[in-house]
Amino acid sequence: MQTLNVNWFVEVPIDFEHKQYQLLAYLQQINAHFNHTQLYPNLNDLVFHYNNLKKFKKDKTMLETSFPVRLSNIDVAAVTLTYEKIINDDAMMQEIEQIINYATFKIKPAIKEGQEIHDFVESHLAISEVGVRPLYPYHGYLLLRNGGERGVRVYEYQVTLFENQHEKYRGIHTTFITKYEWSFIYSSAASIRKDLIQTRRELPNPAVYQVESDITFPLENTLLPLAKKTLVKTISTLS
């Protein structure tokens, strides 16, 4: 997929028609993915670029911070001159502002469409706890059922807490373990949990959650990311 660089709107050539073509080609690919209910990383990418454009427009004088490039001692002086030229060139800044206004106008409805798909998928997910909840629910197994597909995918998950001076938030890491096909032996989430405990001794009393979708969605680009988000939300309410 064609992506946009972090600073695509101020990269040479700074030309409105060129940037318009570049953006529309990018959004066309995003739209094609959304048409197949493929949300990630497309939605996150859109939100990043939209916020980046708004931030730049809000504080154009901090141009240098919008170029997180790795510079050697040799080209620092040359890049500094480029920054100064852009800042002091009114015509160039007007061109950049036109590009930013156009880009935010085009990206905003794409984000809205992605959010609507996100909400639709989320409304078709159901999460349930399997077995007795252990004292430490932050490490265990996620059982994932994808619509009409046969069988259940099993992921080992670990939820971690991140904290900075402004807020606390949780992240989740998952590792695919195996896939169980429905059978006489594995006919329920409880039977799968029992087998996991017997065969994977490193987690003798794991937390186990099952996320089910009544519609089949793309696994890696949509269902798994939203299932992980749903699991984090659920576990966060326990603390």
Give the pLDDT of residue 72: 44
Give the pLDDT of residue 60: 62
For residue 100, give Cα distances in angstroms to 65, 180, 216.
17, 49, 38
Give the pLDDT of residue 62: 53
Prediction pTM value: 0.82
Rounded CA separation 59/180 (Å): 53
Hey, which residues does 160 pair with through a beta bridge? 171
DSSP string, 134-202: PS-TTEEEEEEEETT-SSEEEEEEEEEEEE-SS-EEEEEEEEEEEEEPP-SSS-SHHHHHHHHHHH-TT
DSSP string, 101-127: HHHHHHHHHHHHHHHHHHHHHHHTEEE
The tens place of each residue's pLDDT in the chain, 239 residues long, gives: 678 888 898 888 889 999 999 999 999 999 999 999 999 999 999 999 999 898 887 766 555 454 444 444 444 454 455 555 565 556 778 888 899 999 999 999 999 999 999 999 999 999 999 998 888 899 999 999 999 898 999 999 999 876 655 556 688 999 999 999 988 888 899 999 999 999 998 898 999 999 999 999 999 999 999 999 999 999 988 76
3-state secondary structure of 64: helix
Give the pLDDT of residue 170: 81
